[in-house]
A and B are shown apart, each in its own frame.
Chain A
Amino acid sequence: MAQPFLKKDDDHDDEADYSPFLGIEKGAVLQEARVFNDHQLDPRRCSQVITKLLYLLNQGETFTKVEATEVFFAVTKLFQSRDLGLRRMVYVIIKELSPSADEVIIVTSSLMKDMTSKTDMYRANAIRVLCRITDGTLLTQIERYLKQAIVDKNPVVASAALVSGIHLLQTNPEIVKRWSNEVQEAVQSRAALVQFHALALLHQIRQNDRLAVNKLVSSLTKGSVRSPLAQCLLIRYTSQVIRESASNTQTGDRPFYDFLEGCLRHKAEMVIFEAARAITELNGVTSRELTPAITVLQLFLSSTKPVLRFAAVRTLNKVAMTHPIAVTNCNIDMESLISDQNRSIATLAITTLLKTGNESSVDRLMKQITTFMSDIADEFKIVVIEAIRSLCLKFPLKHRSLMNFLSNIIREEGGFEYKKAIVDSIVILIRDIPEAKESGLLHLCEFIEDCEFTYLSTQILHFLGIEGPKTSDPSKYIRYIYNRVHLENATVRAGAVSTLAKFGAMVDSLKPRIFVLLRRCLFDTDDEVRDRATLYLNTLGADGAVVETGEDVKEFLFGSLDIPLVNLERSLKNYEPSEESFDINSVPKEVKIQPLAEKKAPGKKPTGLGGPPPGPPSTIDAYEKLLLSIPEFANFGKLFKSSAPVELTEAETEYAVNVVKHIFDGHVVFQYNCTNTIPEQLLENVTVIVDASEAEEFAEVASKPLRSLPYDSPGQTFVAFEKPEGVPAVGKFSNMLRFIVKEVDPSTGEAEDDGVEDEYQLEELEVVAADYMLKVGVSNFRNAWESMGPDCERVDEYGLGPRENLAEAVNAVINLLGMQPCEGTEVVPSNSRSHTCLLSGVYIGNVKVLVRLQFGIDGPKDVAMKLAVRSEDEAVSDVIHEIVASG
């Protein structure tokens, strides 16, 4: 087979890149495929033609349906030949052609004959081909052979059957699950890879049965697993078992930790690494547990193999996020990796060092990074920038050198994402480190002098407009901003005009000069720029003398739109031009998404300029649809709120049940999500019996049982209660799961006819005041507070008694009220003795509520709180106080 297949073309000269497929053409090859029909088959020639067909397919050539069918039928003739090499090629091309179901029938008998052949190679390959192209119906016919093949003494045959089983499990799980005895036997095979494949299949069959997985792991970790691949699998399964059992072992040694540690001394690097990684990923891993894993990873760092270095440094990088101290031992090895040929490794090393570094090493590191930055790709640079940003937030004192670094690299060449990452970092540093503000703003000013990205320019101009006027010398920014009006495109010019106006509004002394500049903009070529300039000149009162800028003008310039943009867009689209002008107040303010302004995005990682707002939670929509589809609940009206699921069972019990509380104006619906975790049982007629004796205002009106609950496919049952309209009734409910249980034969999957009635006690469930409160944020709390006015304000003081710390008290009140914390005020700086927390929400009946909480520590640990509530309804303000008073 080593000779070239093609007759050399006549005009072929011995070029260096001569290819046997030079000038190959689909039509000609399809013609050639006729040799498959010859009476006297020439195996060698047939093989060559198949190779050509495969070559075409591999190059991305496609066959039409007719062509593919023709080739397929011709290929089936080749089963007559007994040439092994040709047969192999036939198997490969059948898989590549992936024939349709009606075509498969043609080869089925040939393949089934091969499956029972004496030749191992035939058996193995025929199994793989047949399982690849077959559908479920054929599978039952060949199941017997597959089971035999799994325990075949030839490892290639056994592996072929097992791997096919893994694929078939996706499409025909019920059939493959019947093979577990044979697979179990194959796990004990002496052939390394058979063991690997058998273990993978067995685990997939049993993955929902925790007990079985647990047993599998305990027996195998004691015995000897031969192949490194199987050992890696075992490590994965073991960490799964550890993760799931973690909750019940608070103290003492972790089960199976010894096994993982033992694997660190395995002879295969693959296994050592898998074990080390598994240890580093353990939940709540202790530094004692980490140490041996870190030690082997450290050895890998100085390996000659790039792959090993990469694997180790990548894992250590992850560890450094949670356990920076544990990784510091590797710092010396890590530093030598900064100059690694492989830039991925170098970047990972740098970012790890940035995470583990201390204040004194920052300067040295920055020096190393500067030389390194120029020769890595943008995507790596972004990673480095992010690491530097968090480092700077960690060591604010070092802001000077870090800011310098950022300003140096922002001047260099780079793509949009890269520049955006730098700008975002500078913005965040300006926000969080007051000392860095002035220098940071100047760096940004310089950057927009020569910035090719409109988006970044406008964002920076906007940011300058907000921060610039508050600096000690606002006038120095004007030049940079006005330059933009001269030199940029219309979008940036319009942005610059707005920014100028903001300076004018905030800094009275600059006003006359701003007016001069704005007037010049009146002659701009672009409508928007001119319009803006006119608008601002008028609002700022350029016609009169220098006047104090009115509060409403500032509000206009700086205030954020308190109408969700989506709603505004929709209303504008619906608006039809008429006499009546568009009324912005008619735009609905209720939103499905929480209009959290980007600046106040929660979480520790602050987003930079214009981070995307959180996506709309779609679950409430889904719930509403689901409930409306049930006739009993259809007349309950609009769904006000659905709670997060509350677990009513312990983890790892026979039946897993959680409940979602749906609140309507005059009704409450409990949705019980049930899962049956016992394969041998089928539950029917599942209901929840609710005892509402401790919830006097509620009366049960409807209940919707779940007809059948098979193993591992969740189902829902509902119970509905009536309650006084609009009243935030609270109460406790005790629950009992009632059902008819039927035994299921695991081998056939059929249930017995007779069932037994049974009950299962669930935990209690409570409807609390917070269930009547929707978490709805406001973008500008102060504005909202002022506009609500003091008419319905209720203020009172409360003693919260002794608390661990302020944060705990703040959280307790937030949870009690179920409201949305605004502007990041839910975070209490450690050791602070007083704190103000702002909350917003919508109370049942669509009443907007704003709450201002002022906490103070009184005496040793006594927390006192002043609660001020504003809402659109006095009664609701009172209710909030009642909730706190009784909570």
Chain B
Amino acid sequence: MESCPSIKNILLLDSEGNRVAVKYYSDEWPNNSVKEAFEKSLFSKTQKTNARTEAEIAMFESHIIVYKFVQDLHFFVTGAENENELILVTVLQGFFDAVGLLLRGTVDKKEALENLDLILLCLDEIVDGGIILETDANVIAGKVASHSIDAAAPLSEQTISQALATAREHLARSLLK
């Protein structure tokens, strides 16, 4: 238990157990078919539970898994058997809320797929190789959404639409806070 808390995978599945976006940090799942089998059985084990208001938790194949559902999206975070459950749930909540901010409240599969780039960047900002990078949803979403142009670039390179998009994003985020 001297080790740093670590995350084995983060999964975002749809209401049929299909992948929206997944990221594995542990080599316990050596290939895609093993990963898919894990996702399928995890999904069928958890699908009947009510994890909509509060995050739920399960022991599964000697992992601890915390999960939360919204609309047709199922969020999972997996950690080792002896991991502090509350650390895992903090990561889950960070991911969940950051996705909520990035999708501006409309959190469903369609919206998630249409903004898949944001979801992937979000995963990239939460955990790096199993080590927790950031858990604060506002910071994560902030890092992902900072889509302005390179500060060093001359202003003229920004198109009107880019400028508008940036402005809209800032406005939306300030409204959501």
Contacts and interface: CB of A to CB of B under 8 A. Distances in A.
Interface string A16-49: 0111110000000000000000000000000110
B86 to A, nearest CB: 4
B151 to A, nearest CB: 6
Contact of A341 (B50, B88, B153): B50
Contacts of B19: 58-60
A236 B5 CA distance: 10
A308 B4 CA distance: 21
Nearest to A341: B50
Contacts of B174: none
B59 interface: yes
A51 B131 contact: no
Contacts of A128: 128
Given A20-B114, A270-B84, A270-B90, A84 B149 contact: yes
Contact of B129 (A2, A59, A132): A132
B170 interface: no
B165 interface: yes
A481 interface: no
A436 B90 CA distance: 50
Nearest to B150: A82
A233 interface: yes
Interface in B75-110: 84-90, 109-110
Contacts of B120: 51, 54, 58, 92
A808 to B, nearest CB: 35
Interface in B107-157: 109-110, 113-118, 120-121, 124, 128-129, 131-135, 143, 146-153, 157
Given A84-B150, A274-B84, A306 B113 contact: no
Interface string B1-35: 11111000000000000010110000000001001
B55 interface: yes
B85 A21 contact: no
A127 to B, nearest CB: 10
Contacts of B86: 269-270, 273-274, 307-308, 311
Nearest to B165: A1
Contact of B21 (A58, A229, A304): A58
Q: Which of A19, A119, A121, A232 gathers the greatest number of chain B CB atoms within 10 Å?
A: A19
B49 interface: yes
Interface residues on B, range: 35 or more
A200 B132 CA distance: 11
A473 to B, nearest CB: 46
B57 A344 contact: yes
Nearest to A81: B150
B73 interface: no
A139 to B, nearest CB: 16
B131 A163 contact: yes
Nearest to B111: A2
B135 A229 contact: yes
Contacts of A344: 57-59
Given A59-B19, A121-B143, A304 B54 contact: yes
Contact of B133 (A1, A159, A204, A274): A159
Give the interface size bracket for A toward B: 35 or more
A497 to B, nearest CB: 41
A20 B113 contact: yes
A342 B133 contact: no
Nearest to B68: A307
B69 to A, nearest CB: 13
A775 to B, nearest CB: 33
Interface string B52-77: 00111111000000100000000000
A128 B117 CA distance: 19
A713 interface: no
B66 A307 contact: yes
Given A1-B147, A51-B120, A193-B134, A307 B89 contact: yes
Given A51-B117, A156-B143, A273 B84 contact: yes
A190 B131 CA distance: 20
A84 B146 contact: yes
Contact of A163 (B35, B113, B128): B128
Contacts of A85: 117, 147
B114 A306 contact: no
A567 interface: no
Contacts of B129: 132, 163, 167
A342 B57 contact: yes
Given A58-B19, A307-B56, A310-B57, A82 B87 contact: no
Interface in A681-708: none
B123 to A, nearest CB: 9
B117 A89 contact: yes
B14 to A, nearest CB: 8
26 contacts: A1-B117, A21-B116, A58-B19, A58-B21, A84-B150, A92-B121, A95-B124, A118-B151, A128-B128, A159-B133, A159-B134, A160-B133, A163-B128, A164-B128, A167-B128, A200-B4, A237-B2, A240-B1, A269-B86, A274-B86, A306-B55, A306-B56, A311-B84, A311-B85, A342-B58, A344-B59
Interface of A: 1-5, 17-21, 47-48, 50-51, 54-55, 58-60, 62, 82-85, 87-89, 91-92, 95, 117-119, 121-122, 128, 132, 156, 159-160, 163-164, 166-167, 193, 196-197, 200, 203-204, 207, 228-229, 232-233, 236-237, 239-240, 269-270, 273-274, 277, 281, 304-308, 310-311, 314, 341-342, 344
Given A2-B114, A307-B85, 12 more contacts: A18-B110, A82-B152, A84-B150, A92-B121, A119-B151, A121-B143, A163-B128, A167-B131, A305-B54, A307-B55, A311-B57, A314-B85
